[in-house]
Structure 1
Amino acid sequence: MRVRVEFTTEPFHGEDDQLPSHVTASADALRQVGLTPDLGPLGTSVEGDAQVVVDAVGAAIKGALAHGATRVTLTVSDLDADVAPPVVGVTTDLSDGLARLIAEVEGELGGSLSGLPRAQKQHAVRLLEERGAFEMRRSAETVAEALGLTRFTVYNYLNRIRETDAAQS
């Protein structure tokens, strides 16, 4: 079985836009067993064989805690599960306004939100936040589906955006 694990370590703040040591320590633990983590200040994700990934994530969490993490939250997804991929902008519970906003951001960023790299996904969340997308009911779930992320990850992105904006005000 193949899995995808996404985990977030807190606190979110690094110094001088550098990743905090608890983030880099967790990534190092994943790399030691040959995995290639996708990491950023808001979360780390890794995919692979369930046995390898789960064992490695255990070591990554220990490394994060040893380097100052005060909280770790994770999500595990079965990549082999027989689930149809979401169809962006065509779900029945998606409001027309949110569908238009997602389509607008996809056009601006040059393609499907789910195919974007992490930094572009974070930028997409910022654009959607600026346009009021998250004022709509169940929008975080819909945006998460469009991005190919968990709702938890979208909320982490939003929290970071809001914290940064508040600090700049």
Structure 2
Amino acid sequence: MSGADDLFIEAVKPLVDAIGGELIAPERAGPDDVLLSWAGAEVAAVRLPHLSASLDHILGELRRRHGMPLAELDRKTKQQIVRGLETRGAFAMRHGVETVASALGVSRFTVYNYLNRSTNC
């Protein structure tokens, strides 16, 4: 790997980390991995997380960003989180509402109310 390849990997690493992926050597890539090419050569591959792991990763990142368990946040902040997660497609996956409700320390009904409130505002 060249110095330019190292710079490329350094540049994409924050994105890979943000989605909960894993950078691997291109020769280890499987059919579901995404190969990354730079200057015409395969430099790395990204192993994407399972969707349920992605949601857990996003919730963990939100917890770190807010500096406290999500269940301890105020109602307005929880509503903002639900709107942001809806935008990212969290509720299109199976058990998404239950997973988010558990993390926020609210009921599924409350999450649905937050979702309805955001579409009616």
What range is the shorter-chain TM-score in? 0.5 to 0.7
1:142 corresponds to which letter in structure 2? T
Runs of 5+ unmatched residues, structure 2 = 1-50
Structure 1 or 2: larger helix share? Answer: 2
Residue in structure 1 matching 2:62, options 88, 105, 110: 105
The residue that corresponds to 1:32 in the other structure is none
1:134: how far off?
0.9
The residue that corresponds to 2:15 in the other structure is none
Task: Please list, as runs of the form range in 1=range in 2, the aligned pairs for 1:79-118 lying within 5 A after superposition.
Answer: 95-118=52-75
Indicate conservation of the 8 Å contact 1:102/1:128, yes or no.
no
Task: Please list, as runs of the form range in 1=range in 2, the aligned pairs for 1:12-161 lying within 5 A after superposition.
Answer: 95-161=52-118
Indicate conservation of the 8 Å contact 1:126/1:158, yes or no.
yes
The TM-score, its normalising length taken from structure 1, stands at: 0.39
2:89 corresponds to which letter in structure 1? G
- What SS class does the counterpart of residue 95 from structure 1 fall into? helix
The residue that corresponds to 2:14 in the other structure is none
Q: Using CA pairs under 8 Å that are at least 6 residues apart, name the structure with larger relative contact order, 1 or 2.
A: 1
Runs of 5+ unmatched residues, structure 1 = 1-93, 165-169
User: Are the structure 2 counterparts of residues 126 and 138 from structure 1 closer, same or farther at C-alpha, using a change threshold of 3 Å?
Assistant: same
Q: How much is the aligned-residue C-alpha RMSD, in angstroms?
A: 1.6
Distance in 2 between residues matched to 1:107 and 1:162, nearest whole Å: 27
Identity level (%): 52
User: Matched residue pairs, number?
Assistant: 71
User: Are the structure 2 counterparts of residues 150 and 98 from structure 1 closer, same or farther at C-alpha, using a change threshold of 3 Å?
Assistant: same
Divergent runs of 4+, >6 A: none
Distance in 2 between residues matched to 1:131 and 1:108, nearest whole Å: 17
1:108: how far off?
2.8
